[in-house]
Amino acid sequence: MNNIHIRLFILCCLFFINNELSAQKNLKDSVQTLNFRVDSLKRSLAEARREWQKCKENSSASESNLSSELSALKVQSSEIQRQLSENQNSFKLLSDSLKQTVASAAVLQKALAAKEMQEAVIDNNAKVLSKKLNDSLAGFLGPNCYVYEDKAGVFIVISDSMLMQSAYFVSVSGRKFLEKLTEILKPHFDRSLRICAFADEGTKTQDLWRLSGQKAMLIATVLENSKFPEEKLTIEACGRWKGSKNYKKPPFVFELKLE
């Protein structure tokens, strides 16, 4: 009986020991598994930290880049504002200049219209006066005396022989012509009369201007004596006469300015 109890006790002890060993083995396996999981978690945590550090660094770099870009945009914005202000000033100046140009153009157009009207009046006056001279001087006109007009005024061309007795004296017929001319031009004493005289073709060079000026002075003196206003007379010494088809001797040219 005691042997049976002893065997049972031994069997119980063996069973208990076996269970303890099995439990220890299971515990050891669990510890190993747990350690493996802890190591895996540590690695994951380290990887997560590295990723977080990278993200932090990237975030810092991005923030720095964004800050730089923002600064650059602010500079560009300031430059654009400056250029816009300059363009607005330039536009205002151009606008003011355009207004002035338009105003000047209007003034110029009026002046041009007035000038055209004045030229038309002068042209008409020249034609009227030319006809008047042709009619009034009909007895003097011919190959050696004629009247014509252009934009500058009315011109009378008359030969030397019809006015001068010599280089120093005006002929009687010349005086009659000049007196008649003064009478015709009385309504036009507000205009200037220019007397152009030439020296003969054979005149010595040193005497050209003296003799042509002297002849013009003689004619002007007769006109003054005929009551032509002195201040409206101008004389011009024209030097040597080179001859032409109509005038072998130098003519006189009277120019009545209508401008």
Q: What is the pLDDT of residue 75?
A: 84
Q: Are 177 and 140 in contact (CB under 8 A)?
A: yes
Q: What is the pLDDT of residue 99?
A: 84
Q: What is the pLDDT of residue 205?
A: 75
Cα pseudo-dihedral 32, 34, 40, 45, rounded to 10: -140
Q: What is the pLDDT of residue 29?
A: 75
- Structural domains of the chain ordered from first start: 137-257 (3.30.1330.60)
Predicted confidence pLDDT, tens digits, the chain (259 residues)? 567 777 777 777 777 777 777 777 777 777 778 777 777 777 877 887 888 877 777 766 666 777 788 888 888 888 888 888 888 888 888 888 888 888 888 888 888 888 777 777 777 777 888 888 888 888 888 888 888 888 778 888 888 888 888 878 899 999 999 999 999 988 888 888 899 888 776 667 777 788 888 888 999 999 999 999 999 999 888 887 765 555 556 678 888 776 5
Q: What is the pLDDT of residue 259?
A: 58
245/237 Cα distance (integer angstroms):
22
Q: What is the pLDDT of residue 242?
A: 67
